[in-house]
Structure formats: C-alpha cells, structure tokens
Amino acid sequence: MNASEQIDNYIAAKQDWRGDMVARLRKLVLEAAPDIAEEWKWNSPVWSQSKPVCSVSAFKQHVGMNFFQGAYLADPHNLFNSGLESKHSRTVKFLEGDTIDEAVLKELIQTAVAYNAAP
C-alpha cells in the first residue's frame, strides 16, 4: 500500500470531526505545495520536499499539524500554539469547531517548503 492509500485509510478510520480535519489539512498542504511528496512515517501522514515539512496527527481531543522546522519559520499570524519550547518543531493544534484561515495556513506551509529548499 502506498503512502496516499495509507493516509486515505487513516482519514477513514477517524469517523468524527478529526477525520474531516485531517482531510482538510491534507487538501491545504497539497494546494499550497503541489510538488510536495506524501509519505507515511511514524504512523502519521507526512509531507516532504527534500526533507519532512509537516505532519498531521489525530489525537483524542485535537488534531495537530507539526512543522518539523517550525522554530525557524516566521509566524506573523501566530498560528503556532503548541510545542513552543521545542528547539526545532512547532505545532498548530486544532480543536473541534475551530475555524481555519486557509490563506494564512497555506502561507505558513509555503514558508516551510521554502525553508527546506534553502541551502
């Protein structure tokens, strides 16, 4: 089974708002970075461009979108709300009913892709 199929199965297994949120975040990642590769690592969807950019994981009470190099990214809209003490990564936690500013999140994804591409 390839990574995209594993992600499809992961989404289907979450039969509540978390599955919908993971699907929506996946769509935004693919729209923001059409050349990004979908991978399945650490039992989670991961998107990479030369190296891992971000991952999405559904937990009991939230869905987390982890940016592997988030500590190095400009976050002018203050999306990062978890993992702020980490040396490298940062996370955006989504709770049930949260709204997403899609343009702002896509901008953050593109910033992360650009950071990974920099020498």
- Domain residue spans of the chain: 3-117
- What fold characterizes domain 3-117? Aspartate Aminotransferase, domain 1 (3.90.1150)
* Cα 82 from Cα 66, distance rounded (Å): 9
- The pTM for the full model equals 0.95
pLDDT per residue as tens digits for the range 60-94: 999 999 999 999 999 999 999 999 999 999 999 99
Nearest residue to 66 (alpha-carbon basis) of 112, 102, 100, 117: 112
- Confidence (pLDDT) at 118: 85
The tokens of 56 are what?
């999405």
- Confidence (pLDDT) at 119: 79
* Cα 64 from Cα 58, distance rounded (Å): 6
